[in-house]
Amino acid sequence: MSLETLELCTSDSPDASVIWLHGLGADGHDFEALVPELRLPSKLAIRFIFPHAPFRPITVNNGYVMRGWYDIVSLQIDRQEDIDGVAESSALLSQLIETEINRGIAGNRIILAGFSQGGAIVLNTGLHYPQPLAGILALSTYVPMLDQLATTLAEANKATPIFMAHGLMDDVININIASTSRTQMQALGLILQWHDYPMGHSVCADEISHIRDWLIQRLS
């Protein structure tokens, strides 16, 4: 299996890639409009890649089929986890990384970004990827299989910068779940920049501004 994707390039000759995963029930178009809102400097030559998640039945939605990176089997998302689904989507994301490397983009010029479920997949993939990446952008999300991270974390990405942001009023993924992931990652010595905002399960203007600054820092 391979993923269908949308692409948006800021230059005819990109030398960096941002692979951005959407949340449950959305698709690759979800964050496409964010690129111009970032107002990135023209000197940055970036290929933004927005994959569509596969369709799958979601247990907590009475088995309704929608785009999702893994199943949600319980409202206690950090306790009853779809380990196989997470592994499957992480493998698909790894394929996209390899595709970018084969297109001439160095691994340390590739950023993984994701929102909600997509954020969980980019954290799981990036923290276990065997080559250094440019960064991980994780929005309104958490680390899947957190209790295993200390033994499964890849040496290659222990120094990879992580941007993690969450809404204080998030009623989909409680901020306490995200905070637990943050604390565990920091305890393992990972480089993590944390932001929280007075919002729900969404993205706000201040967050976009902070993402812009972080992307410029990582890719300039």
Task: Name the residues annotated as catalytic.
Answer: 116, 170, 201
Calpha distance 138→143 (Å, rounded): 9
Q: Which residue has the tokens 């595709």?
A: 99
Q: DSSP states of the chain as a string?
A: ----EEEEESSSS-SEEEEEE--TT--GGGGTTHHHHH---TT--EEEEEEPPPEEEEGGGTTEEEE-SS-B--S-TTTSB-HHHHHHHHHHHHHHHHHHHHTT--GGGEEEEEETHHHHHHHHHHHH-SS--SEEEEES---TTGGGHHHH--GGGTT--EEEEEETT-SSS-HHHHHHHHHHHHHTT--EEEEEES-SSS--HHHHHHHHHHHHHHH-
Residues 6+ apart with CB under 8 A from 43: 220
| Neighbouring C-beta atoms of residue 90, cutoff 10 Å | 23
